[in-house]
């Protein structure tokens, strides 16, 4: 049995579908504050759903019953949200993760907890590419919360023998990623604006770059991190090892729609870093993990999925 916290969200629901296709039993834990039942349409009758909050320890304990692997995706995401409300970010991302770890330790059936961390933990450390042994330098409450929870995972592995793996995601994108939030990610926001004929809102000069990671790669990373022997206690960058600017994304989306897209430049976002680029050597070596979908193809798939969704 797999427990996916945040299983109705973008990453969690894609992971749940992949596990169901593989014949696994899946239990989803989500408070549906940002996740959606629509994300689970294809598997709704083949998964168990627990509607509850990570901050409710009793609910987390109940959901952990009979579980073998935990994929802990639930979090209050977004750097900007954390700048606006650092307390809630801490309560969910740090204390919520501690609840998951404590419940997993108590439930003797759990073999491993895989935790969704973030590239934001590197912060303004200017070294490129980012290797997992770099000293973190977080510059936002979100990044602090992710690093703190990551440290809890390491401590639980050392102190209590609970196997944990932390995955530092680099700017994940793909189908099911919602543009309907003030804290939405740049890829769905750009695509939605393009499809509606609105100008793209570009923070800063648009030359900032990210190591964008297609959702299928993240799903594979989670599945392999659950079952690969000998990786307990490890931290992995989950990325593609290449970076692309916001302006490059705008140009590609313009190519998809067949016209140049107007842009509206605004002030840089608080807490953002200028560039990210990951070293993926550790994940390649220990998880045998390599991206199967290139950047342009991933963007095209995401664009077509969002276009269909908006049309429907």
Whether the Cβ atoms of residue 213 and residue 170 lie closer than 8 Å to each other: yes
**Catalytic annotation on 2?**
no
Q: Which of 69, 115, 122, 142 is catalytic?
A: 142
Q: Which residues are catalytic?
A: 142
């Amino acid at each position: 049995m797999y427990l996916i916290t945040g299983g109705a969200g973008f990453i969690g629901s894609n992971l749940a579908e992949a596990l169901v296709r593989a014949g696994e039993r899946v239990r989803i834990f989500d408070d549906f504050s940002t996740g959606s039942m629509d994300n689970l349409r294809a598997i709704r009758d083949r998964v168990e759903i627990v509607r509850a909050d990570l901050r409710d320890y009793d609910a987390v304990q109940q959901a952990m019953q009979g579980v073998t692997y935990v994929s802990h995706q639930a979090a209050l995401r977004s750097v900007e949200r954390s700048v606006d409300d650092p307390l809630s970010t801490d309560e969910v991302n740090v204390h919520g993760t501690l609840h998951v770890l404590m419940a997993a330790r108590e439930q003797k059936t759990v073999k491993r907890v895989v935790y969704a961390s973030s590239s934001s933990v590197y912060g303004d450390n200017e070294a490129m590419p980012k290797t997992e042994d770099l000293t973190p330098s977080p510059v936002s409450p979100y990044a602090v919360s992710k690093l703190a929870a990551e440290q809890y995972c390491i401590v639980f592995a050392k102190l209590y023998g609970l196997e944990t793996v932390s995955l530092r995601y680099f700017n994940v994108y793909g189908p099911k990623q919602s543009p309907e939030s003030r804290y939405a990610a740049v890829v769905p926001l750009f695509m939605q604006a393009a499809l509606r004929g609105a100008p793209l809102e570009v923070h800063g000069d648009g030359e900032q770059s990210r190591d964008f990671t297609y959702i299928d790669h993240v799903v594979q990373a989670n599945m392999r991190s659950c079952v690969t022997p000998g990786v307990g206690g490890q931290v992995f960058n989950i990325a593609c090892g290449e970076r692309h600017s916001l302006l490059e994304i705008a140009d590609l989306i313009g190519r998809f729609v067949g016209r140049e897209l107007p842009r509206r430049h605004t002030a840089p976002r608080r807490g953002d870093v200028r560039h990210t680029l990951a070293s993926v050597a550790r994940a390649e070596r220990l998880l045998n993990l390599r991206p199967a979908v290139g950047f342009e193809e991933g963007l095209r798939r995401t664009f077509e999925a969002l276009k269909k969704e908006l049309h429907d």
